Amino acid sequence: MCVKKCRTCGVDKPLEEFAINKRNKDGRETRCKICTNEWGRAHYYKNHERLRKQKDQYYIENKHRQVESRAAYNKKYVESGRAAEYQKGWREANPNYAKEYRESPEGSAIRRALSAKRRAQKLQATPAWADQEATKAIYAEARRLEDVLGIPMHCDHVVPLQGELVCGLHVETNLQIIPATLNIRKSNKFKVQ
């Protein structure tokens, strides 16, 4: 077994405890990995402002290269099928989640409710006092009606979240179940009755 003495801590350690550096005769760093990590932390702490400026400047000067590199990697990742493999592996590792939220009608209603909640949160239209369980129940009822009637049903906001005259809230009292065609035709309009 080959050993080497760390130049910082002075302890004899196996060669595997030193990072590879082909410029040195033995092909390893002069400091062990532990001492190198400690030195790196201390160096960053002492010089973090200068290092941050250098990093920001490098990003500004090389932004186009980084964007191109990321785009090429993403394209290669999707085309190679690794993205699909990852998603399949995740579904297999999380069968309860996949079954509950992807396959059941209740899961579909939950997904619709969560999707609508997300959109509403973007608009900061969901108050803290909103009853999320009641909202989920309305979306579940829309799904049930859709299955019974055989026509697409939507949960519509009576007062639109992004109306021209007035903006409503994403709460159970502002929701109504209507056919999808009427909801699409209504858009973001609010009729004063």
- Residue 35: the pLDDT is 94
Stretches in the chain below the pLDDT threshold 70: 1, 95-108, 118, 120-123, 163, 188, 190-193
- Residue 73: the pLDDT is 82
Q: How far is CA 68 from CA 54, 65, 73, 151, in A?
A: 21, 5, 9, 45
- Residue 29: the pLDDT is 92
- Residue 192: the pLDDT is 57
Inter-residue contact 123 to 163 (CB < 8 Å): no
- Residue 155: the pLDDT is 87
- Residue 118: the pLDDT is 62
pLDDT tens track for 99-113: 555 556 666 677 777
Torsion of CA 96, 102, 106, 111, to 10 degrees: 120
DSSP-based three-state secondary structure for 178: strand
Burial of 191 (0-12, 13-18, 19+ CB in 10 A): exposed
Token pair in block for residue 147: 């299955």
pTM for the model stands at 0.39
- Residue 47: the pLDDT is 93
Inter-residue contact 170 to 139 (CB < 8 Å): no
- Residue 160: the pLDDT is 81
151-189 per-residue burial string, b: 16 or more CB within 10 A, e: under 16? eebbbbbeebbeeeeebbbbbbebbebbbeeebeebeee
pLDDT tens track for 87-100: 788 777 776 665 55
Inter-residue contact 136 to 109 (CB < 8 Å): yes
